[in-house]
Structure 1
Amino acid sequence: MLPSVATSGAQVRTSHRAALEAGVARLSAEGRPRALVVAGMGGSALAGDMLAAVCGGGVPIPIVTVRSYRLPGWVGAADLVVAVSSSGATEETTALALEAVRRGSRLVTVGRPGSPLAAIAEQSSGLHLPVVPVAGAVGGPRANLWGTTMPLLAMASALGLADIGQDAVEAAAARLEDIAHRCRPSSESFINPGKTLALELAGTIPMIWGTSAIATAAAHRLASQLNVNAKYPAIWGEIPEANHDQIEALDGPLAERDIFGDSPSMGLRLFVLRDLDEHPQVGKRRVNSVRIANDRGVPVSEMTAEGAHPLERLASLVGLADYGSVYLALGFGIDPAPVSAVVELKSRISQ
């Protein structure tokens, strides 16, 4: 899994180039849709959230991510449905792609060439954007997040929803490569931000909050990667929403630690993912949330997005989150690659 995470920068470049070569620019000639609906599950659905985050609040049309077997009732011929699956064979996603065709929606599919999704796009005269394998990436779909995200960003750029030029793509790739260098296995824990994050996560129940759409997408990514890589529970949310419910957990039993107890205890730890683009009121809420946690003895870790372009800032947080989750798994002696419970559930459903 570590070599797979290390290929993130290459994934950004390769996937963006593949989308351009597949003819994503043709979408501009078809006009802007009423809404853009991303259909996917797991990391593929998160790519839709990342798309919306990078496009920002000024985007002129709704960008909606659907994680289900059914499209919302309002989706129709005026909308663009983008079905995303790294394998191109995810059950829920193929069902949504077929439903989009039946409703007369424009369809773009993102997945492995020659997959069921690619066939649906071909049969409906839709556009298929390939998920291209990168040498060294062997960790499954969750280790190829940028392979599904970059085609969406290339599509958004073609539709005039975001400015994702080559400079932004290169800045994000370079940022991920810098993280890979600093988080390399030979780097000691005290100078390795991925190992440091894993140490802060270990033995805690992480409550992860983002302060902007970009930071929240990264918070979701960190929680999901902890689940699948380290088999570890986590809670994620966004300020200000988290200040209306999750913050109350700071007054609960899991916020207390019995440091003199005979058995190990797990308590909350607050992780705040920060972004330069946070609303002024969110900034005030963040500062005071941290103070409230400190007042109750709940440890706090803060991670700040780096870079000028939204894509680079997102990459700076996601890259670190991916490494932290893998190092936490390895610290517990867990192989992060298998997803046994997911495979077992799929097997039971298919019977």
Structure 2
Amino acid sequence: MLDFDDSRLENADVLDAAAPLLMNLAGSGARVRREAATAEAPLAALTDADRPRAVIAYGPEARLLRAVLEPVCPVPFVAWPALGLPGWVGPLDVVLLIGRRGPESLAVAHEAVRRGSRVVVICPPDSPLALQADSRSTTLLPVSTGDPLAAAVVGLVALHRLGLGPYTSTDAIAAALDTVAEACSARTDVSVNPAKAMALDLADATPLVWGGSVLAARASRRIAEALRQASGRVGLSADASDLVGLVQQVAPRDPFEDPFEQGVAERRAGLVLVDDGLDDAAAAESRLRLQRSAEAADIRVTRLTHRDDSMMERYATVLLTGLFGAAYLQIGLGRTA
């Protein structure tokens, strides 16, 4: 088992060696700007002249689009998880494809074109998916970075142009990501760096991650996945009721335990609460239960909070902060080699 060494978070040589990991996260805002600029012309050509019967989204971040669109979309919005399309999809519907490798998206594109649906496909222009989806009813929104969040932002802009979703400011989302990258940069001291502070909180913990709103819950799942990959430990994002049960099972901390004696204690849980300020009454009550349960069990709580700006700016901010936290946990554990 690898031990966490907090000195690695301030060691210039270690941070330089981990630069590719951190620079990839820091470039998130730039990738949003690049994809929006690349797709600018076909986005401008989209209009809301003909309202579809329904929208079916497929691909990475399709559920993110549904979380943003479902409360306000004037037609049914489906994030389709399976191969193919629902049997009722036809010429009256819009199929939005966010490209990825593999035969699944090719099969969905083939089926959408065969049925005469209006297709909006977000993928590299020279990819097999672009060729498969080509038709008179297809709009290709070219992207090139492979960043699923940036592609999803392009999709949100397209849905707004079609009159199906709220206005999405790519500049504002990119600026929010840039702000996180600056706050979480390698040269920022741990005392003012929320991502390094999160890594310290989870240095020897099993992470439990929870978010109350639909978007915060989605961010919590992405963060938990990143923490699992970064640490090699079990990490869980689940409903509050499940996490409360796990927290309540944690044994009280023994004040006489020797932390340097091997085999003395099991790894304790660490709770990460994602807060985008969009909790409903039930989520607010669940958050309070989790906090009280963690306090009673003497479990450390990390809070990722951004309660201002648009839904997507909040989501992007808490998500990227959590991803930076996972990266610094990986660095502190010496798992970047």
| TM-score normalised to structure 1 length | 0.79
Q: Tell me, which stretches of 5 or more residues in structure 2 are unaligned?
A: 1-20
For residue 109 of structure 1, the aligned residue among 121, 142, 155 is 121
For residue 55 of structure 1, the aligned residue among 69, 82, 85 is 69
> Which deviations, in whole Å up to 9, do the C-alpha atoms of 1:286-325 show, x marking residues without a partner?
1122112222233322221243211211121122022112
For residue 121 of structure 1, the aligned residue among 133, 137, 154 is 133
**Distance in 2 separating the partners of 1:228 and 1:276:** 28
**Distance in 2 separating the partners of 1:128 and 1:229:** 35
> Which deviations, in whole Å up to 9, do the C-alpha atoms of 1:45-64 show, x marking residues without a partner?
xx223223333623323333
**Distance in 2 separating the partners of 1:4 and 1:325:** 13
For residue 166 of structure 2, the aligned residue among 157, 163, 166 is 163
SS at match of 1:289: helix
For residue 85 of structure 2, the aligned residue among 63, 71, 77 is 71
Aligned to 1:97: 109
Aligned to 1:340: none
Indicate if the aligned counterparts of 1:249 and 1:255 stay in contact, CA closer than 8 A.
no
The offset of 1:124, in angstroms, is 6.2
**Distance in 1 separating the partners of 2:210 and 2:252:** 20
Counterpart of 1:243, as a letter, is A
**Aligned positions of 1:15-26 closer than 5 A:** 15-23=35-43, 25-26=45-46
**Distance in 2 separating the partners of 1:62 and 1:327:** 41
Counterpart of 1:68, as a letter, is A
The offset of 1:208, in angstroms, is 1.2
**Distance in 1 separating the partners of 2:251 and 2:85:** 40
**Aligned positions of 1:249-328 closer than 5 A:** 249-252=246-249, 259-260=257-258, 262-263=262-263, 265-328=266-329
Percent identical: 31
What root-mean-square deviation, in Å, do the aligned CA atoms of Structure 1 and Structure 2 show? 2.6
**Distance in 1 separating the partners of 2:298 and 2:190:** 25
**Distance in 2 separating the partners of 1:189 and 1:163:** 37
Tell me, yes or no, if structure 1 residue 331 matches structure 2 residue 328.
no
Counterpart of 1:249, as a letter, is L
The offset of 1:74, in angstroms, is 4.0
SS at match of 2:220: helix
Tell me, yes or no, if structure 1 residue 245 matches structure 2 residue 242.
yes
The offset of 1:152, in angstroms, is 0.9
Indicate if the aligned counterparts of 2:201 and 2:300 stay in contact, CA closer than 8 A.
no
**Distance in 2 separating the partners of 1:329 and 1:230:** 6
**Distance in 1 separating the partners of 2:209 and 2:101:** 31
The offset of 1:117, in angstroms, is 1.0
**Distance in 2 separating the partners of 1:323 and 1:273:** 14
Asked which structure has the greater CA Rg, the reply is 2
> Which deviations, in whole Å up to 9, do the C-alpha atoms of 1:250-279 show, x marking residues without a partner?
233x66667546326322222111122221
Aligned to 1:348: none
**Distance in 2 separating the partners of 1:276 and 1:230:** 29
SS at match of 1:320: helix
* Structure 2 CA distance for partners of 1:332 and 1:32, relative to 1, 3 Å: farther
Tell me, yes or no, if structure 1 residue 37 matches structure 2 residue 56.
yes
| TM-score normalised to structure 2 length | 0.82
Aligned to 1:13: 33
Tell me, yes or no, if structure 1 residue 149 matches structure 2 residue 163.
no
The offset of 1:72, in angstroms, is 3.6
Indicate if the aligned counterparts of 1:97 and 1:117 stay in contact, CA closer than 8 A.
yes
Aligned residue pairs, count: 312
Indicate if the aligned counterparts of 1:306 and 1:312 stay in contact, CA closer than 8 A.
no
